[in-house]
Amino acid sequence: MFEFCCSEDSMLGKVNQEHGLDNFRSTKEGNNREVDSLIQLLSKFPGCDLWASIPCGPWSTWQQVNKSRIGKSFIRRLETSRRKSRKIRKNFIRCAEKVLENGGHVASEWPRGCAGWNLPELVQFIVKHNLYVAEPDGCE
C-alpha cells in the first residue's frame, strides 16, 4: 500500500502495519522530481494500491461562507491554496495512472460536497478509468 500526501502517522498506515502489510507513506505533495521518483518506485510493485489523503480545506463548502464574510484578501489566499491543491491532485493522478497501468487500485478521500470533486482533471480521470465515487459525510 502506498499513501500519497498523508500524515507521518496516518491511521491507514498504522492499521496496515498491525496487519503485517507493507505500507509506504509519501507525506509531502512533492515536486516533479520527487513524483517522478515515486512513479519509478510504484512501477516496481505491480498490483499495488495507492491511497490519497489530499487536504480538502481549499475546496470545503465553508469556503463559500468565508469568501462572502472575509472578502478579497481571503479570496486571494484561497486561490493560492487551490492552485497548490490542484498541483497536488495532478501529481496524484500521475502516480495513479502508473498504478492502474500496472493492475493496481487507487482511492482518494474528500467529503461529499467538496468543490474539488468538480475539478476538470479529476472528473476526466474518474471517467477515463470508470472509477466509482463513494460520498462520505465528512472527514475522520
The set of cell numbers assigned to 115 is 468543490
- More reliable by pLDDT, 32 or 76: 76
**Residues 89-140: pLDDT tens digits?**
999 999 999 999 999 999 998 888 889 999 999 999 999 999 988 776 655 5
The helix (H) or strand (E) run that includes residue 125 is helix 120-128
Return the SS3 of 71: coil
Question: What is the structure's pLDDT at 99?
Answer: 98
Average pLDDT of the chain is 90
Boundaries of every domain in the chain: 2-128
State the CATH architecture for 2-128. Answer: 3-Layer(aba) Sandwich (3.40)
3-state helix, strand and coil shares in percent for the chain, rounded to the nearest 5:
55, 10, 35
Return the SS3 of 119: coil
Q: Which of 17-26, 42-51, 57-66, 67-76 has the highest mean pLDDT?
A: 42-51
What global pTM score does this model have?
0.88
Nearest-angstrom CA–CA distance, 38 and 109: 20
Nearest-angstrom CA–CA distance, 17 and 1: 10
